[in-house]
Structure 1
Protein backbone atom coordinates (compact mmCIF):
# COMPACT_ATOMS: atom_id res chain seq x y z
CA UNK A 1 0.00 0.00 0.00
CA UNK A 2 2.95 2.35 0.46
CA UNK A 3 3.64 2.08 -3.27
CA UNK A 4 -0.04 2.68 -4.07
CA UNK A 5 -0.16 5.75 -1.81
CA UNK A 6 2.98 7.15 -3.42
CA UNK A 7 1.33 6.81 -6.82
CA UNK A 8 -1.73 8.66 -5.51
CA UNK A 9 0.40 11.52 -4.19
CA UNK A 10 2.14 11.87 -7.55
CA UNK A 11 -1.21 11.88 -9.38
CA UNK A 12 -2.59 14.55 -7.04
CA UNK A 13 0.38 16.76 -7.88
CA UNK A 14 -0.46 16.24 -11.56
CA UNK A 15 -4.04 17.40 -10.99
CA UNK A 16 -6.12 14.45 -9.77
CA UNK A 17 -8.80 15.30 -7.23
CA UNK A 18 -7.57 14.21 -3.75
CA UNK A 19 -10.45 11.81 -3.10
CA UNK A 20 -9.45 9.38 -0.34
CA UNK A 21 -10.81 5.97 0.58
CA UNK A 22 -12.15 5.97 4.15
CA UNK A 23 -13.96 2.68 4.85
CA UNK A 24 -16.40 0.12 3.51
CA UNK A 25 -19.73 -0.87 4.99
CA UNK A 26 -21.95 -3.93 4.84
CA UNK A 27 -25.71 -3.78 5.40
CA UNK A 28 -29.01 -5.54 4.78
CA UNK A 29 -28.56 -4.57 1.11
CA UNK A 30 -25.28 -6.46 0.77
CA UNK A 31 -26.37 -9.95 -0.34
CA UNK A 32 -28.79 -10.97 -3.07
CA UNK A 33 -29.13 -14.49 -4.42
CA UNK A 34 -28.79 -14.99 -8.18
CA UNK A 35 -31.22 -17.85 -8.62
CA UNK A 36 -31.14 -18.47 -12.38
CA UNK A 37 -29.10 -18.04 -15.54
CA UNK A 38 -31.52 -15.32 -16.65
CA UNK A 39 -30.97 -13.43 -13.40
CA UNK A 40 -27.19 -13.71 -13.84
CA UNK A 41 -27.46 -12.21 -17.33
CA UNK A 42 -29.56 -9.38 -15.91
CA UNK A 43 -27.07 -8.64 -13.11
CA UNK A 44 -24.06 -8.68 -15.46
CA UNK A 45 -25.92 -6.45 -17.93
CA UNK A 46 -26.67 -3.94 -15.19
CA UNK A 47 -23.10 -3.87 -13.85
CA UNK A 48 -21.66 -3.50 -17.36
CA UNK A 49 -24.34 -1.02 -18.51
CA UNK A 50 -25.21 -3.05 -21.61
CA UNK A 51 -28.34 -4.62 -23.09
CA UNK A 52 -31.48 -3.33 -21.39
CA UNK A 53 -29.28 -1.15 -19.15
CA UNK A 54 -27.25 0.54 -21.90
CA UNK A 55 -29.00 3.84 -21.16
CA UNK A 56 -27.13 3.82 -17.81
CA UNK A 57 -23.83 4.23 -19.66
CA UNK A 58 -23.36 7.97 -19.31
CA UNK A 59 -20.27 10.12 -19.73
CA UNK A 60 -18.73 8.77 -16.52
CA UNK A 61 -18.94 5.09 -17.52
CA UNK A 62 -15.17 5.14 -18.11
CA UNK A 63 -14.59 5.59 -14.38
CA UNK A 64 -15.86 2.10 -13.54
CA UNK A 65 -13.35 -0.67 -12.89
CA UNK A 66 -14.23 -4.13 -14.20
CA UNK A 67 -12.79 -7.60 -13.81
CA UNK A 68 -11.79 -9.34 -17.05
CA UNK A 69 -9.84 -12.47 -18.03
CA UNK A 70 -6.85 -12.15 -20.37
CA UNK A 71 -4.55 -15.07 -21.19
CA UNK A 72 -6.20 -17.05 -18.37
CA UNK A 73 -5.31 -14.35 -15.83
CA UNK A 74 -7.61 -12.01 -13.95
CA UNK A 75 -7.12 -8.34 -14.86
CA UNK A 76 -8.92 -5.18 -13.79
CA UNK A 77 -9.51 -2.35 -16.20
CA UNK A 78 -11.63 0.62 -17.19
CA UNK A 79 -13.64 0.69 -20.41
CA UNK A 80 -15.20 3.49 -22.41
CA UNK A 81 -16.70 1.65 -25.36
CA UNK A 82 -19.76 -0.58 -25.37
CA UNK A 83 -18.08 -3.32 -27.40
CA UNK A 84 -15.38 -3.64 -24.69
CA UNK A 85 -18.02 -4.19 -22.03
CA UNK A 86 -19.82 -6.66 -24.28
CA UNK A 87 -16.54 -8.57 -24.65
CA UNK A 88 -16.23 -8.73 -20.85
CA UNK A 89 -19.84 -9.93 -20.66
CA UNK A 90 -19.06 -12.77 -23.09
CA UNK A 91 -15.90 -13.70 -21.17
CA UNK A 92 -17.72 -13.90 -17.82
CA UNK A 93 -20.51 -15.98 -19.37
CA UNK A 94 -17.88 -18.46 -20.58
CA UNK A 95 -16.33 -18.48 -17.11
CA UNK A 96 -19.75 -19.17 -15.57
CA UNK A 97 -20.19 -22.12 -17.94
CA UNK A 98 -16.77 -23.45 -16.91
CA UNK A 99 -17.78 -23.35 -13.23
CA UNK A 100 -20.94 -25.40 -13.99
CA UNK A 101 -23.04 -23.19 -11.76
CA UNK A 102 -25.63 -24.57 -9.43
CA UNK A 103 -28.26 -21.86 -8.96
CA UNK A 104 -29.75 -23.53 -5.87
CA UNK A 105 -28.41 -21.02 -3.37
CA UNK A 106 -24.86 -21.19 -4.72
CA UNK A 107 -24.51 -17.80 -6.44
CA UNK A 108 -24.71 -14.42 -4.71
CA UNK A 109 -24.19 -10.78 -5.57
CA UNK A 110 -22.38 -8.91 -2.79
CA UNK A 111 -22.70 -5.12 -2.70
CA UNK A 112 -20.59 -3.13 -0.26
CA UNK A 113 -20.37 0.63 0.03
CA UNK A 114 -16.91 2.14 -0.30
CA UNK A 115 -16.90 5.54 1.41
CA UNK A 116 -14.62 8.35 0.29
CA UNK A 117 -13.64 11.65 1.88
CA UNK A 118 -12.41 14.97 0.56
CA UNK A 119 -11.72 18.23 2.35
CA UNK A 120 -14.33 21.02 2.15
CA UNK A 121 -11.75 23.26 0.49
CA UNK A 122 -11.08 20.74 -2.27
CA UNK A 123 -14.78 19.91 -2.62
CA UNK A 124 -15.57 23.54 -3.38
CA UNK A 125 -13.17 23.39 -6.32
CA UNK A 126 -15.15 20.47 -7.75
CA UNK A 127 -18.57 22.16 -7.66
CA UNK A 128 -20.23 23.09 -10.93
CA UNK A 129 -23.70 23.63 -12.38
CA UNK A 130 -25.11 21.02 -14.74
CA UNK A 131 -28.57 21.53 -16.27
CA UNK A 132 -29.27 24.21 -13.66
CA UNK A 133 -28.41 21.86 -10.81
CA UNK A 134 -25.41 22.09 -8.49
CA UNK A 135 -23.27 18.97 -8.57
CA UNK A 136 -19.63 17.91 -8.41
CA UNK A 137 -17.08 16.71 -10.95
CA UNK A 138 -13.89 14.91 -9.93
CA UNK A 139 -10.84 14.82 -12.16
CA UNK A 140 -9.26 11.39 -11.64
CA UNK A 141 -6.46 9.87 -13.69
CA UNK A 142 -6.41 6.20 -14.62
CA UNK A 143 -3.64 5.50 -12.09
CA UNK A 144 -5.59 7.29 -9.36
CA UNK A 145 -8.80 5.39 -10.06
CA UNK A 146 -6.94 2.07 -10.06
CA UNK A 147 -5.30 3.06 -6.76
CA UNK A 148 -8.73 3.80 -5.23
CA UNK A 149 -9.91 0.42 -6.48
CA UNK A 150 -6.91 -1.24 -4.84
CA UNK A 151 -7.82 0.40 -1.51
CA UNK A 152 -11.42 -0.85 -1.84
CA UNK A 153 -10.39 -4.37 -2.79
CA UNK A 154 -7.83 -4.74 -0.01
CA UNK A 155 -10.31 -3.36 2.53
CA UNK A 156 -12.82 -5.98 1.37
CA UNK A 157 -10.25 -8.76 1.80
CA UNK A 158 -9.27 -7.43 5.23
CA UNK A 159 -12.93 -7.44 6.34
CA UNK A 160 -12.84 -11.24 6.27
CA UNK A 161 -10.42 -11.20 9.21
CA UNK A 162 -11.64 -8.18 11.18
CA UNK A 163 -14.24 -8.01 13.93
CA UNK A 164 -16.68 -5.63 12.29
CA UNK A 165 -20.31 -5.06 13.25
CA UNK A 166 -22.57 -7.28 11.13
CA UNK A 167 -25.80 -7.26 13.13
CA UNK A 168 -27.98 -6.61 10.08
CA UNK A 169 -26.77 -9.72 8.23
CA UNK A 170 -27.97 -13.31 8.35
CA UNK A 171 -25.66 -16.16 9.33
CA UNK A 172 -25.16 -16.93 5.64
CA UNK A 173 -24.29 -13.29 4.97
CA UNK A 174 -21.77 -13.22 7.82
CA UNK A 175 -20.23 -16.40 6.42
CA UNK A 176 -19.77 -14.69 3.05
CA UNK A 177 -18.25 -11.59 4.65
CA UNK A 178 -15.68 -13.89 6.18
CA UNK A 179 -15.30 -15.70 2.82
CA UNK A 180 -15.85 -19.01 4.61
CA UNK A 181 -18.06 -20.60 1.98
CA UNK A 182 -16.71 -18.91 -1.17
CA UNK A 183 -15.40 -21.19 -3.91
CA UNK A 184 -14.74 -18.66 -6.69
CA UNK A 185 -15.18 -15.02 -7.59
CA UNK A 186 -17.09 -14.89 -10.86
CA UNK A 187 -17.02 -11.11 -11.38
CA UNK A 188 -16.11 -7.82 -9.68
CA UNK A 189 -16.87 -4.18 -10.45
CA UNK A 190 -16.39 -0.81 -8.73
CA UNK A 191 -19.17 1.49 -9.95
CA UNK A 192 -17.66 4.97 -9.86
CA UNK A 193 -20.14 6.25 -12.46
CA UNK A 194 -22.86 6.36 -9.81
CA UNK A 195 -21.36 7.93 -6.68
CA UNK A 196 -24.06 8.48 -4.07
CA UNK A 197 -24.31 10.73 -1.02
CA UNK A 198 -25.57 9.78 2.41
CA UNK A 199 -25.26 11.81 5.60
CA UNK A 200 -22.74 14.17 3.97
CA UNK A 201 -20.56 11.26 2.87
CA UNK A 202 -20.03 9.91 -0.63
CA UNK A 203 -19.77 6.29 -1.59
CA UNK A 204 -19.48 4.00 -4.58
CA UNK A 205 -20.61 0.39 -4.74
CA UNK A 206 -18.14 -2.49 -4.96
CA UNK A 207 -20.03 -5.43 -6.47
CA UNK A 208 -18.73 -9.00 -6.36
CA UNK A 209 -20.43 -12.17 -7.62
CA UNK A 210 -19.47 -15.19 -5.51
CA UNK A 211 -19.76 -18.87 -6.37
CA UNK A 212 -20.33 -20.81 -3.14
CA UNK A 213 -19.45 -24.39 -2.24
Structure 2
Protein backbone atom coordinates (compact mmCIF):
# COMPACT_ATOMS: atom_id res chain seq x y z
CA UNK A 1 0.00 0.00 0.00
CA UNK A 2 1.28 3.47 -0.90
CA UNK A 3 2.32 5.77 1.93
CA UNK A 4 0.74 9.20 2.24
CA UNK A 5 4.10 10.68 1.27
CA UNK A 6 4.04 8.71 -1.98
CA UNK A 7 0.47 9.81 -2.62
CA UNK A 8 1.38 13.46 -2.02
CA UNK A 9 4.28 13.20 -4.44
CA UNK A 10 2.00 11.69 -7.09
CA UNK A 11 -0.50 14.52 -6.52
CA UNK A 12 2.23 17.14 -6.98
CA UNK A 13 3.07 15.57 -10.32
CA UNK A 14 -0.60 15.76 -11.32
CA UNK A 15 -0.71 19.48 -10.41
CA UNK A 16 2.26 20.01 -12.72
CA UNK A 17 0.20 18.36 -15.47
CA UNK A 18 -2.72 20.74 -14.91
CA UNK A 19 -4.85 19.38 -12.05
CA UNK A 20 -6.51 21.95 -9.80
CA UNK A 21 -4.26 22.44 -6.72
CA UNK A 22 -7.01 21.69 -4.19
CA UNK A 23 -5.50 20.72 -0.83
CA UNK A 24 -7.05 18.65 1.95
CA UNK A 25 -7.31 20.54 5.27
CA UNK A 26 -9.24 18.30 7.66
CA UNK A 27 -12.61 16.81 8.65
CA UNK A 28 -15.44 17.62 11.04
CA UNK A 29 -18.38 15.51 12.16
CA UNK A 30 -20.83 18.39 12.47
CA UNK A 31 -23.87 18.48 14.75
CA UNK A 32 -25.92 15.60 13.28
CA UNK A 33 -23.71 13.27 11.26
CA UNK A 34 -25.83 10.13 11.66
CA UNK A 35 -29.06 9.00 10.05
CA UNK A 36 -30.54 5.59 10.74
CA UNK A 37 -31.58 3.56 7.70
CA UNK A 38 -34.52 1.55 8.96
CA UNK A 39 -35.64 -0.37 5.87
CA UNK A 40 -34.44 -1.79 2.57
CA UNK A 41 -36.57 0.78 0.77
CA UNK A 42 -34.86 3.61 2.65
CA UNK A 43 -31.46 2.11 1.84
CA UNK A 44 -32.25 2.07 -1.88
CA UNK A 45 -33.49 5.65 -1.66
CA UNK A 46 -30.27 6.78 0.05
CA UNK A 47 -28.16 4.97 -2.55
CA UNK A 48 -30.18 6.58 -5.36
CA UNK A 49 -29.62 10.01 -3.87
CA UNK A 50 -25.89 9.55 -3.31
CA UNK A 51 -25.41 8.12 -6.81
CA UNK A 52 -27.74 10.66 -8.47
CA UNK A 53 -29.82 7.92 -10.09
CA UNK A 54 -33.53 7.21 -10.49
CA UNK A 55 -35.70 9.98 -9.07
CA UNK A 56 -32.53 11.74 -7.89
CA UNK A 57 -30.94 11.92 -11.32
CA UNK A 58 -31.97 15.58 -11.40
CA UNK A 59 -29.29 16.26 -8.78
CA UNK A 60 -26.55 15.29 -11.22
CA UNK A 61 -24.68 18.46 -12.21
CA UNK A 62 -21.49 19.37 -13.98
CA UNK A 63 -19.45 18.53 -10.86
CA UNK A 64 -20.91 15.04 -10.40
CA UNK A 65 -18.07 13.65 -12.50
CA UNK A 66 -15.69 14.68 -9.71
CA UNK A 67 -17.48 12.56 -7.10
CA UNK A 68 -15.66 9.47 -5.88
CA UNK A 69 -17.79 6.35 -5.46
CA UNK A 70 -17.19 2.94 -3.95
CA UNK A 71 -17.79 0.09 -6.36
CA UNK A 72 -17.43 -3.66 -5.96
CA UNK A 73 -15.12 -5.44 -8.38
CA UNK A 74 -14.90 -9.13 -7.68
CA UNK A 75 -14.80 -9.43 -3.91
CA UNK A 76 -13.01 -6.17 -3.16
CA UNK A 77 -14.19 -2.56 -3.01
CA UNK A 78 -12.79 -0.19 -5.60
CA UNK A 79 -13.08 3.59 -5.73
CA UNK A 80 -13.68 5.53 -8.90
CA UNK A 81 -15.14 8.54 -10.61
CA UNK A 82 -18.12 8.19 -12.93
CA UNK A 83 -18.74 9.88 -16.24
CA UNK A 84 -22.35 9.04 -17.01
CA UNK A 85 -25.67 7.93 -15.54
CA UNK A 86 -24.87 4.50 -16.97
CA UNK A 87 -21.74 4.28 -14.78
CA UNK A 88 -23.69 5.29 -11.68
CA UNK A 89 -26.50 2.84 -12.43
CA UNK A 90 -23.91 0.07 -12.70
CA UNK A 91 -22.56 0.98 -9.26
CA UNK A 92 -26.10 1.07 -7.87
CA UNK A 93 -26.64 -2.49 -9.13
CA UNK A 94 -23.28 -3.68 -7.80
CA UNK A 95 -23.86 -2.21 -4.32
CA UNK A 96 -27.41 -3.57 -4.21
CA UNK A 97 -26.01 -7.03 -5.00
CA UNK A 98 -23.25 -6.57 -2.41
CA UNK A 99 -25.91 -5.71 0.16
CA UNK A 100 -27.47 -9.12 -0.34
CA UNK A 101 -24.14 -10.68 0.64
CA UNK A 102 -23.47 -8.70 3.80
CA UNK A 103 -27.15 -8.59 4.82
CA UNK A 104 -27.66 -5.22 6.52
CA UNK A 105 -29.83 -5.38 9.64
CA UNK A 106 -32.47 -2.65 9.56
CA UNK A 107 -33.35 -3.03 13.23
CA UNK A 108 -31.11 -0.19 14.41
CA UNK A 109 -27.92 -1.54 12.83
CA UNK A 110 -27.61 0.36 9.53
CA UNK A 111 -26.53 4.00 9.54
CA UNK A 112 -25.51 6.73 7.12
CA UNK A 113 -22.61 8.85 8.35
CA UNK A 114 -21.94 12.24 6.77
CA UNK A 115 -18.58 13.80 7.60
CA UNK A 116 -17.53 17.20 6.31
CA UNK A 117 -14.19 17.27 4.49
CA UNK A 118 -12.48 20.63 4.11
CA UNK A 119 -10.22 21.71 1.27
CA UNK A 120 -8.41 24.89 0.37
CA UNK A 121 -7.20 26.49 -2.84
CA UNK A 122 -4.15 28.75 -3.01
CA UNK A 123 -4.92 32.43 -2.41
CA UNK A 124 -6.54 34.08 -5.41
CA UNK A 125 -7.41 30.78 -7.11
CA UNK A 126 -11.05 30.42 -6.01
CA UNK A 127 -12.68 32.48 -8.75
CA UNK A 128 -10.98 30.44 -11.47
CA UNK A 129 -13.12 27.43 -10.57
CA UNK A 130 -16.46 29.10 -9.77
CA UNK A 131 -19.17 28.51 -12.43
CA UNK A 132 -22.91 28.96 -12.90
CA UNK A 133 -24.71 25.77 -13.89
CA UNK A 134 -28.43 25.96 -14.74
CA UNK A 135 -28.69 29.18 -12.77
CA UNK A 136 -26.92 27.86 -9.67
CA UNK A 137 -23.46 28.84 -8.55
CA UNK A 138 -21.07 25.96 -7.97
CA UNK A 139 -17.44 24.97 -8.42
CA UNK A 140 -15.78 22.77 -11.01
CA UNK A 141 -12.33 21.39 -10.33
CA UNK A 142 -10.35 19.98 -13.27
CA UNK A 143 -8.51 17.10 -11.62
CA UNK A 144 -7.07 13.88 -12.93
CA UNK A 145 -8.34 10.58 -11.57
CA UNK A 146 -5.07 10.08 -9.71
CA UNK A 147 -5.30 13.50 -8.06
CA UNK A 148 -8.90 13.24 -6.94
CA UNK A 149 -8.36 9.72 -5.61
CA UNK A 150 -5.43 11.15 -3.66
CA UNK A 151 -7.77 13.69 -2.04
CA UNK A 152 -10.19 10.88 -1.24
CA UNK A 153 -7.36 8.90 0.37
CA UNK A 154 -6.58 11.90 2.58
CA UNK A 155 -10.24 12.05 3.63
CA UNK A 156 -10.57 8.40 4.61
CA UNK A 157 -7.18 8.46 6.32
CA UNK A 158 -8.34 11.41 8.44
CA UNK A 159 -11.61 9.60 9.19
CA UNK A 160 -9.74 6.54 10.43
CA UNK A 161 -7.42 8.70 12.52
CA UNK A 162 -10.42 10.44 14.10
CA UNK A 163 -11.52 7.12 15.57
CA UNK A 164 -8.37 7.13 17.70
CA UNK A 165 -7.78 10.85 18.20
CA UNK A 166 -11.23 12.14 19.22
CA UNK A 167 -12.45 12.41 22.79
CA UNK A 168 -15.40 10.23 21.80
CA UNK A 169 -17.18 10.14 25.20
CA UNK A 170 -17.15 13.94 25.18
CA UNK A 171 -18.75 14.32 21.76
CA UNK A 172 -22.35 14.14 22.92
CA UNK A 173 -23.09 11.19 20.64
CA UNK A 174 -25.25 8.29 21.79
CA UNK A 175 -23.57 5.05 22.80
CA UNK A 176 -24.34 3.52 19.41
CA UNK A 177 -23.04 6.59 17.58
CA UNK A 178 -19.86 6.48 19.66
CA UNK A 179 -19.37 2.93 18.42
CA UNK A 180 -19.57 4.21 14.85
CA UNK A 181 -17.19 7.11 15.46
CA UNK A 182 -14.64 4.75 17.02
CA UNK A 183 -15.40 2.15 14.32
CA UNK A 184 -15.49 -0.43 17.12
CA UNK A 185 -19.18 -1.01 16.52
CA UNK A 186 -18.88 -1.35 12.74
CA UNK A 187 -19.27 -4.74 11.08
CA UNK A 188 -19.08 -3.75 7.40
CA UNK A 189 -19.01 -0.75 5.10
CA UNK A 190 -21.78 -1.13 2.57
CA UNK A 191 -21.04 2.02 0.58
CA UNK A 192 -18.93 5.17 0.65
CA UNK A 193 -18.60 8.27 -1.50
CA UNK A 194 -17.04 11.72 -1.54
CA UNK A 195 -19.43 14.27 -3.05
CA UNK A 196 -17.85 17.22 -4.81
CA UNK A 197 -21.02 18.20 -6.68
CA UNK A 198 -22.57 19.73 -3.53
CA UNK A 199 -19.41 21.50 -2.41
CA UNK A 200 -19.92 24.57 -0.23
CA UNK A 201 -17.58 27.54 0.06
CA UNK A 202 -17.04 29.80 3.02
CA UNK A 203 -14.30 31.45 5.06
CA UNK A 204 -11.66 30.55 2.52
CA UNK A 205 -12.31 26.80 2.51
CA UNK A 206 -14.43 24.40 0.50
CA UNK A 207 -16.49 21.69 2.16
CA UNK A 208 -17.50 18.36 0.58
CA UNK A 209 -19.41 15.50 2.19
CA UNK A 210 -17.85 12.09 2.83
CA UNK A 211 -20.83 9.74 3.12
CA UNK A 212 -20.55 6.19 4.44
CA UNK A 213 -23.21 3.54 4.99
CA UNK A 214 -22.20 1.34 7.91
CA UNK A 215 -23.58 -2.04 8.94
CA UNK A 216 -23.16 -2.34 12.70
CA UNK A 217 -22.33 -5.35 14.84
TM category, shorter: over 0.9
Q: Does 1:139 align with 2:139?
A: no
Partner of 1:123: 126
Q: How does 1:67-78 map to 2 (within 5 A)?
A: 67-78=70-81
- Which stretch has the larger CA shift, 8-17 or 46-55? 8-17
Residue 32 of structure 2: aligned partner: 29
Q: CA deviation at 1:79?
A: 0.7
Give the structure 1 partner of residue 195 of structure 2.
191
SS of the equivalent of 1:60 reads helix
Distance in 1, matches of 2:204 and 2:84, equals 32
Q: Is the 8 A contact 1:24 1:112 kept in 2?
A: yes
SS in structure 1 at match of 2:142: coil
Q: Give structure 2 stretches of 5+ with no counterpart.
A: none
Deviation at 1:126, TM superposition (A): 3.2
Contact 2:120–2:204 (8 Å) recurs in 1:
no
Matched, 1:170 2:174: yes
1:55 Cα deviation (Å)?
Answer: 0.6
How far residue 130 of structure 1 moved from its aligned partner, in angstroms, is 6.1
Secondary structure at the aligned position of 2:211 is classed as strand
TM-score by length of 1: 0.92
Superposition deviation, residue 198 in structure 1: 3.8
1:101 matched to 2:107: no
Mapped to 1, the partners of 2:116 and 2:64 lie a distance apart of 18
Question: What is the aligned partner in structure 1 of residue 216 from structure 2?
Answer: 212
Is 2:163 aligned against 1:160?
Answer: yes
Give per-residue Cα distances to partners, 1:94-131, cap 9 Å, x unaligned: 11111222210010000000000122222244345667
1:201 Cα offset (Å): 2.5
Flag the 1:148–1:164 CA change in 2: closer, same or farther, 3 A: farther
Aligned to 1:6: 9
Q: CA deviation at 1:135?
A: 5.6
User: In 2, distance between residues paired with 1:129 and 1:73?
Assistant: 38
Residue-pair matches, total: 213
Cα distance change of structure 1 residues 132 and 186 upon mapping to structure 2, 3 Å threshold: closer
Which of these residues, 8, 15, 18, is aligned with residue 18 of structure 2? 15
TM-score by length of 2: 0.90
CA displacement, residues 169-198 of structure 1 (integer Å, 9 cap, x when unaligned): 223222211001100000000001111124
Q: Is the 8 A contact 2:63 2:139 kept in 1?
A: no
Matched, 1:80 2:83: yes
Q: Contact 1:28/1:168 (CA < 8 Å) preserved in 2?
A: no
